[in-house]
Amino acid sequence: MPGNSPQPSALTFQPVLERIATEVAQTPGRGRPADYIPALAACDPRRFGMAVAELDGTVYGVGDWRQPFSTQSVTKVFTLALDLAREGDALWEHVGREPSGNPFNSLVQLEYENGIPRNPFINAGALVVTDRLQTRTGDAAGTLLEFLRAESGNAHLDFDRDIAASETANGDRNAALAHFMASYGNIDNPVPVLLDQYFLQCSIAASCADLALATGFLARHGIRADGSRLLSRSQAKQINAIMLTCGTYDAAGDFAYRVGLPGKSGVGGGIIAVVPGRCTLCVWSPGLDERGNSVAGVAALDRFTTLTGLSVF
Ligand code: GLN
């Protein structure tokens, strides 16, 4: 019912989610879980969950929507918001806002561009954001965890220290990115401190329900779950724009074409998405395509916007 049909009322989200789950279950080919972080490799690619949260915190879900998974790069949206709220536009002297067209962990552009990463959602850019949040708060990962707990209403959210340790033991590429940027003076904290914070940040386990709720401030134009303001309306728009253009790495063009929403993926298989002024979504399925985005997750969001007509376009 895309096109000129009326947008569904909230009550129609549940049947739409059920239909998507049925379709996804019948779709062969789920991709492969990330194996460069050994603790993620054991995930079953047939797992699938999806949640939609309304602006008032009402949540609808299907499948494994209450199952915690490794949030990974989905957290980059929240650290960006927390830093932007503190630092404002000065952040943009340290990280850009252009799509990279390169994989999320790529090193190649950094030397040409003098240690300034293309955007806050590739690993290099996220390291800069976490470094700046660490300088401002003294505890970037803890600040993030408290924020996610508050916005999701789930006080049990926590770090998964096995995942963090697994990444630390296999973190040469992120260490290389951080050291390289430090050589340009674009990292404040000692690199080992920054990497600990970054890997803890990525290790947070949360469910589709938790993340759909925690993303709500971006659909509410900067307003937190308790009604207080985190970001100006303009800053919320800016983050949504960067999600649309950079949130799924070198597949952002294809994601915008298929889904038509600001979104952010992680190699744990989660993707969050925002319908500004209306609702937020989170989908999880651990099988990834070669660009590191959940195969079933992108397919499910594609179906959601096609079936409901809810899109920014
Ligand atoms: N922790 C992962 C890394 O730094 C996050 C990457 C991702 O989710 N795309 O490699």
Report the CATH number that the domain containing residue 219 is assigned in CATH. 3.40.710.10
Q: Tell me the three-class secondary structure of 103-133, residue by residue.
A: CCCCCHHHHHCCCCCCCCCCHHHHHHHHHHH
Q: Is residue 3 part of a domain?
A: no
Write out residues with Cβ below 6 Å of ligand 1: 72-73, 104-105, 123, 167, 174, 202, 266-267, 292
pLDDT of 102 reads 85
Specify the residue with its C-alpha closest to ligand 1, atom 2.
72
pLDDT at 101 over 60: yes
Q: Is residue 74 part of a domain?
A: yes
Residue (of 242, 273, 271) closest to 121 by Cα position: 242
pLDDT of 88 reads 97
Cβ contact 1:307 at 8 Å: yes
pLDDT in tens, 149-161: 999 999 999 999 9
Most ligand 1 atoms within 8 A of CB, residue of 78, 79, 144, 167 to mutate: 167
Binding positions for substrate: 73, 123, 167, 174, 198, 249, 267
Residue 104 CA, closest ligand 1 atom number: 9
Of the listed ranges 34-43, 46-55, 156-165, the one predicted with least confidence: 34-43
pLDDT of 303 reads 97
Mean pLDDT of 71-86: 98
- Count of C-beta atoms within a 10 Å radius of residue 184: 13
Gap from CA of 236 to ligand 1 centroid (Å): 23
The pair of three-digit structure tokens given for residue 105, joined into one six-digit string: 């962990």
**Which uninterrupted H or E stretch holds 273?**
strand 270-275
pLDDT at 1 over 70: no
Q: Is residue 4 part of a domain?
A: no
Gap from CA of 309 to ligand 1 centroid (Å): 31
User: Which band of pLDDT confidence, cut at 50, 70 and 90, is reported for residue 5?
Assistant: very low
d(CA 217, CA 66): 20
Q: Is residue 26 part of a domain?
A: yes
Residue (of 137, 109, 151, 117) closest to 282 by Cα position: 151
Which pTM was predicted? Answer: 0.95
Catalytic residue numbers?
Answer: 73, 76, 198, 249, 267
Gap from CA of 120 to ligand 1 centroid (Å): 13
pLDDT of 7 reads 54
The SS3 assignment for 188 reads: coil
pLDDT at 28 over 80: no
pLDDT of 311 reads 96
Q: Is residue 1 part of a domain?
A: no
pLDDT at 9 over 80: no
pLDDT of 4 reads 43
Look at 102 and 253; give whichever has higher pLDDT: 253
Gap from CA of 121 to ligand 1 centroid (Å): 10
Residue 74 CA, closest ligand 1 atom number: 8
- Count of C-beta atoms within a 10 Å radius of residue 84: 24
pLDDT of 106 reads 87
Q: Is residue 239 part of a domain?
A: yes
pLDDT at 168 over 90: yes
Gap from CA of 13 to ligand 1 centroid (Å): 31
pLDDT of 265 reads 97
User: Which band of pLDDT confidence, cut at 50, 70 and 90, is reported for residue 2?
Assistant: very low
Beta bridge partners of 263: 273
User: Which band of pLDDT confidence, cut at 50, 70 and 90, is reported for residue 39?
Assistant: confident
Number of domains forming the structure of the chain:
1
Q: Is residue 5 part of a domain?
A: no
Residue 122 is part of which domain span?
10-308
pLDDT at 14 over 90: yes
Percent of the chain with pLDDT over 90: 88
pLDDT of 238 reads 97
* Helical ranges in 153-294 per DSSP H: 161-169, 172-183, 191-203, 208-214, 216-219, 233-246, 252-258
Most ligand 1 atoms within 8 A of CB, residue of 40, 43, 73, 288 to mutate: 73
d(CA 293, CA 295): 6
Q: Is residue 23 part of a domain?
A: yes
Residue 167 CA, closest ligand 1 atom number: 1
Question: From residue 23, how far is each of 18, 87, 269, 295, 303 by CA, in Å?
Answer: 9, 44, 18, 13, 9
Percent of the chain with pLDDT over 70: 96
